[in-house]
Chains A and B, each alone.
Chain A
Amino acid sequence: MPGTAILGRRRGPERVPARSELVVAIAGNPNVGKSTLFNQLTGATVDTAHYPGITVEAVAARVEWGAQQVEIIDLPGIYGFGARAKDERLAWETLLARRPHVVVAVADATNLARSLYVTLQLLDLGFPVIVALNLTDEARRREVIVDEQGLQAALGVPVVSTVALRGEGLERVRRAILTAGQTRRPRGEAYSPAIEERLAVLEGFGQVCEIGELAALVEHARCRLPQLPLHDDRTALRLAAERHARAGRIVAAVAGRSREGAGDRLWRFVTRPATGVPVLVAVLAAVFAVLFFVGEWLSVLLTTTWEAGPAPLLRRLVQEMVGAGAFADTLLWGLDGGIYAALAVGIPYIMTFYLIMALLEDSGYVNAVAYLSDRLMRHVGLQGRAVIPLIAAAGCNVPAIMGARVLTSRRERLIASTLIALMPCSARTAVIVGAVSLYVGWGWALAVYGVIFAVGLSAGLGLNRLLPGQPGALVMEMFPLRRPSPWLVLRKTWARLRDFVWVAAPIIIGGSLLLGALYETGIVWHFSRPLAPLVEGWLGLPAVAGLTLLFAILRKELALQLLIAFAVVVYGSAATNLNAFMSDHQLVVYALVSCLSVPCASTIAVLGREIGWRATFLLAVAILGVALLVGGVAHRLLPLV
């Protein structure tokens, strides 16, 4: 048995009362399909993509297989014991704290040697492992056939070939987990304590000894074996070298050599500076073009459809049920105005954006972006890896801030979180495109992006100078491009859009109802009066627009949607043209302020958790100040243009 039991020895029989629930962890290198396997095994929809570091937390789900309760934990990717970033540390902490009954080590069949390193380490650390040999379809395309039986013999643990994406081999994985779980193997003979302690040191636990109970183990070793160097790096290097060599020998025995595929050639095309930089510029331009034109087309399509049938019907229905008057008007605010707004702004732009994001992520093109932009990112104190959460932030800031965990220092996470909070997310894009591009012109929309970009850039440059320290160094595994699976892209887009529809739509309708009630009863003017000096005097906006900006803290696109709902009610749905009561300049100022001002409630919540409440508070106040400043200045400068 290859497993020693560093962990096993400390796990006395009394500590594990035959748990009825089977705890299974999915571990392995980044980007080998752990989350895809997790989704398939549990029916969950955890985010997946073709780049490393998308899973940054340990996600657990409970399933029932026959009579057996199973808890499955999806872990962030790891390369070996040791952690540079928070997500990797979290993976080891979870493994050591939860001590799963079965660890499914997911291996990449196209790059088996890489995957076997961490598999061997898991085995050496005494984890009960089964190997899921994933991406075997991709391997076959590259004419790599892995001898499953041979690998099983070499490792001494069950090996199952899978194509997690299409659910191939799932049933066998499930059976292997259950079998491994039933034979919960006796915590065999441990090495003598002295050897175990040495092994703990060699594996580098000294470096990461805040992880779990290993701190105690290493401390113990320090007391008992004072002559043992706690950071014996030469020996650790030798151990790493020998383990790599062992992985290499196993691969040579059980797998053929990989042949270059079309993805590799395309990858070279997009990373060579001479071709890669123009491609990057073209891709960015295409993203914006698609967003503007497809988004607008969808918006018109959806709203005309709504106006053609459901809207008049709804209005008649309300009139018949509650008659005319303030109550009916309030209802129409929420239902007619709210739904119209969601169809005009939320769904078309957000869906288009999610679709583009899914394509970029699943093709692996974001790897190339991280690689090409590293040098530029250093100016704002970040490394190329930070580009991925920043791109994700253009979708939604919340997962992006969590994605910043892949960065190695608090300094970087702080800068990245700030830039993410300033990045126009899809909701803010909806405001920019829905208000400015649609009514004022796309050139102005670009100008708004330009201003926001300049604010973000200055924030990055400033923080890089103010905060002590240096940007971290880029070390990131790269993957050749892959053709994204259309089904997976659609499923991912839908999963994200569904969150928008189920979470955001009720807020939009509820917000519209509330604003409607305030408006119809005239209370709205009591609220907007205190804001008037700021909103009317400083920003030059209608008072009611200021009120919608306040609501925007719930969801960013709510600001514009409430404004549209307002227009629908006051001027009738034929006159949804915002120009009816706001000038071009006012719309630009409005878009600027609503995009820059305090991040939405969910972003604030996740910021507080990731960078601390004090930093979050300072950040929110600073951003609000900048928003008001930029808005006020724009109000004064725009007439001069």
Chain B
Amino acid sequence: MVRRSESTEEYLEAMFKLSRTPEGITVGRLASELGVAPSSVSQMMRRLVAAGLASRDIDGHVTLTRRGRREGAVLVRRHRLSERFLVDVLALPWDKVHEEACRMEHALSPEVEARLAATLGNPTACPHGYAIPDENGEIAEDVARPLADLQAGEGGVISCVDEAEPELLRYLSSLGLLPDTSVTVESVAPFGGPQLVRVGSSQYALGREVAARVYVRS
């Protein structure tokens, strides 16, 4: 694998994750995912296309090429393996591992990556419940999608809750919004407003930012 700059790697990783969502990769979503300006995203896109990692169709839609997808998967794998290592072996606080893993993933060589996976017993999911791609870059089809994407009347079973705010996770868990609980979206407020979600016999209004962090499978 060619050595890439850290920022190129960040893009590939983010694009791999976005490519697995229904909306796919867009400049806007990449910009918000990476916290950068849309103009820098466009600039990087041109470089990725030139390097044969991404391609742009006539309408401007971005997709990863086979190679780009492969490299992105490896980075996601390294990130999630690192998280596992930090939590399982080093017993690091849960809210810190995401950032630590962001730094670690760029430093791992394929050999260390392989040993890490073997030492951890070839885990298939990260501590948050996301699938870990295998060494060939294949990833189990994610049936989960963010609760925020559900329409009124749809429902599912919570598969995992995203990492950003541990305090929120704990709060949601005391409300009963836990993995393996079924939820139904009762209604959705207009203009991208909150969702009204039923859990058991309780109803909660969840803002979009919160609902986007709760993943459900049908």
Contact = CB atoms under 8 A, between A and B. Distances in A.
B140 interface: no
Contacts of B54: none
Given A233-B166, A478-B196, A371 B174 contact: no
B174 A81 contact: yes
Most chain B C-beta atoms within 10 Å of own C-beta, residue among A273, A383, A480: A273
Nearest to A240: B173
Contact of B176 (A117, A233, A474): A117
Contact of B173 (A237, A277, A375): A237
B200 A375 contact: no
B192 interface: yes
B174 A117 contact: yes
A588 to B, nearest CB: 34
Interface string B68-112: 000000000000000000010001111100000000000000000
A117 B174 CA distance: 8
A174 to B, nearest CB: 30
B176 A244 contact: yes
B92 A229 contact: yes
Contacts of A478: 196, 203-205
A475 B204 CA distance: 7
A237 B210 CA distance: 17
B187 interface: yes
B151 to A, nearest CB: 12
A271 interface: yes
Interface string A320-359: 0000000000000000000000000000000000000000
Contact of B201 (A79, A258, A473): A258
Interface residues of A, number: 51
Nearest to B94: A233
Interface string B187-218: 11111111010001111111101100000000
A233 to B, nearest CB: 4
B175 interface: yes
Interface stretch (B10-18, B29-37, B45-53, B178-186): B178-186
A240 B205 contact: no
Contacts of B194: 371, 374-375, 384, 474
Interface in A229-268: 229-234, 236-237, 240-241, 244, 248, 258, 268
Given A231-B95, A237-B178, A244-B178, A82 B201 contact: no
A179 interface: no
Nearest to B173: A240
A389 interface: no
A632 to B, nearest CB: 37
A64 interface: no
A301 interface: no
Interface string A475-504: 111111000000000000000000000000
A80 B176 CA distance: 10
Interface string A198-214: 00000010010000000
B44 interface: no
B172 interface: yes
B163 to A, nearest CB: 9
Contact of B189 (A80, A207, A231, A375): A375
Nearest to B174: A80
B120 interface: no
Contacts of B200: 113-114, 248
B196 A371 contact: yes
B200 to A, nearest CB: 6
A522 B36 CA distance: 68
Contact of A375 (B152, B175, B176, B190): B190
Most chain A C-beta atoms within 10 Å of own C-beta, residue among B92, B166, B173, B175: B173
Contact of A236 (B173, B181, B189): B173
Interface in A115-169: 117-118
B167 A237 contact: no
Given A240-B178, A477-B175, A114 B201 contact: yes
Contacts of A110: 201
B127 interface: yes
Contacts of A375: 189-194
A229 B88 CA distance: 10
A110 B202 CA distance: 10
Nearest to A208: B167
B91 to A, nearest CB: 4
Given A272-B187, A374-B194, A231 B207 contact: no
A271 B94 CA distance: 37
A84 interface: yes
Interface string A377-402: 00000011000000000000000000
B115 interface: no
Contacts of B170: 80, 82, 204, 207, 233, 236, 240
A81 B181 CA distance: 20
A442 B170 CA distance: 50
Nearest to A88: B171
Contacts of A227: 91
Interface string A72-103: 00000001111010000000000000000000
A117 B189 CA distance: 29
Given A268-B186, A384-B194, A477 B202 contact: yes
Contacts of B196: 271, 371, 478
Given A234-B127, A372-B193, A384-B207, A207 B167 contact: yes
Contacts of A230: 93
B169 interface: yes
A370 to B, nearest CB: 7
B168 interface: yes
A111 interface: yes
Contact of B203 (A204, A244, A477): A477
Contacts of B168: 84, 473, 475
A352 B87 CA distance: 59
Interface in A182-212: 204, 207
A523 B204 CA distance: 61
Contact of B186 (A248, A271, A374, A479): A271
A241 B180 contact: yes
Contacts of A272: 152, 187
A84 B202 CA distance: 19
A370 B176 CA distance: 21
Nearest to B197: A478
Interface in A433-484: 473-480
Nearest to B204: A477
A206 to B, nearest CB: 8
Contacts of A475: 168, 171-172, 175, 204-207, 210
Interface of B: 87, 91-95, 127, 152, 166-176, 178-181, 186-194, 196, 200-207, 209-210
Given A237-B178, A372-B189, A375-B191, 5 more contacts: A113-B201, A118-B174, A237-B173, A367-B205, A384-B207
8 contacts: A79-B171, A79-B175, A80-B173, A228-B91, A271-B196, A371-B193, A374-B189, A384-B193
Q: Which 5 A-B pairs rank lowest in CB-CB distance, beginning with the nearest?
A: A80-B174, A474-B207, A375-B193, A240-B173, A231-B93
